[in-house]
Amino acid sequence: MIVDPVAPYRLPGAVPDGVMRRRDGLLERVASHDGELALLRAAQPRRDGPVVIGVWAPTEALADEALARWRRSLGVDLDHRPFLDLAWHDPVLAPFVRRRPWLRPTCRYRPHEALVWAITEQLIEYVEATKIQRGLVRLVGARCERTGLRDAPTPEAILALAPAQIERLGLSARRTLLLRQTCRLLVRGLDLEAEDRMHAWRQLRAVPGLGSWTVAMMASRGQGHPDASPSGDLGLLKSVGRLMWEGRVELTPAPLLATSYDHRPSARAVAETEGRTVELKRDRKGRTPMATEHQVHELVSRYSPWAGYAAEHLFAA
């Protein structure tokens, strides 16, 4: 199948968890459906050109379902031109959007993949989280004998592991408990793909340890919600803090907010913006000015209903 994207588009790269790989321009992964595997491939022979998509599955019904999910996760049918129109002349986003007009939040094949991975990324360095993710994929990800690729683990497969097995991968005992509790919720019927997304968000937020950042990551990376922004993300706090420090963005002065990344008192930096004093946190090493989650949310909310896209460009700024 050949798809000609309606908006600027470039095929995403491989993911660090090892589930999806890219070789010689060919992107591929496998996906397990009720014990049967589908092989998914995509390529973009010409930069910014049409995308070639292929799915191989044992049944036509499985191929149709896998193709629909594959297209959704690749984002080839998304039209984000309204966001480009909104940001193209924006004083904050224009330099970033014009440099990478094809950039958009990546989306996982299934929503639960984004949720599970977000839990493993809580309160630790991203590189350490990817080691845990690769470990879970090796332990319980369904393997394709033909390609050697493994699917992301299902909630049922994670629950089949003993807590000690997960902790040996590097996840703390507390996060392991939260991961298992969340997987149990999914196995018992929490539907992340239901039309009423708010219902799932409310149920997740009711679980101690699943805060706004985790749910926003699931909504953005798992459900493809364009307005979901993980405003408390460390990368965003630093990017927006730097823009504030340089005087490139003006935000409401706010008290230092406790974030999930830094519970300790931090040094303060002061930037003068149009006669107003804006207090900025600094990171743990005292170097990078950091905005608060409230300030990041204020900035990305200006671009609603595309706050998640704005956040993605600020990530890459």
Q: Give yes or no: residues 218 and 238 share one domain.
A: no
* 3-state SS assignment for residue 63: helix
Q: In the predicted model, is pLDDT for residue 221 greater than 50?
A: yes
Res. 139 pLDDT band, cuts 50 70 90: very high
Q: Give yes or no: residues 174 and 119 share one domain.
A: yes
| The pair of three-digit structure tokens given for residue 290, joined into one six-digit string | 């950091």
Q: Of 314, 279, 276, 283, which is closest to residue 296 (Cα–Cα)?
A: 314
Q: Write down which residue in 171, 188, 222 finishes a domain.
A: 222
DSSP string, 40-53: EEEE-SSTTS-EEE
In a domain, 38, yes or no: yes
In a domain, 56, yes or no: yes
Domain assignment of residue 39, given as a range: 2-79
The pLDDT of residue 280: 55
DSSP state letter for 19: S
Which residues touch 2 (CB under 8 Å, ≥6 apart)? 50, 51, 52, 53
Condensed to tens digits (0 to 9), the pLDDT of residues 162-190 reads 999 999 999 999 999 999 999 999 999 99
Res. 286 pLDDT band, cuts 50 70 90: low
Q: Write down which residue in 199, 222, 245 finishes a domain.
A: 222
In a domain, 276, yes or no: yes
Q: Give yes or no: residues 38 and 60 share one domain.
A: yes
In the chain, the number of structural domains is 3
Q: Write down which residue in 36, 57, 79 finishes a domain.
A: 79
The pLDDT of residue 271: 36
Q: In the predicted model, is pLDDT for residue 272 greater than 60?
A: no
In a domain, 287, yes or no: yes
Condensed to tens digits (0 to 9), the pLDDT of residues 23-64 reads 999 999 999 998 899 999 999 999 899 999 999 999 999 999
For the segment 250-255, the average pLDDT, to the nearest whole number, is 68
**Percent of the chain clearing pLDDT 90 (strictly above):** 80
Q: Give yes or no: residues 117 and 218 share one domain.
A: yes
| The pair of three-digit structure tokens given for residue 293, joined into one six-digit string | 């989650």
Whether pTM > 0.85 for this model: the answer is yes
Q: Give yes or no: residues 171 and 213 share one domain.
A: yes
In a domain, 101, yes or no: no
Q: How far apart are CA 306 and CA 226, in angstroms?
A: 5
Domain with residue 150: its CATH number is 1.10.340.30
Q: Give yes or no: residues 198 and 123 share one domain.
A: yes
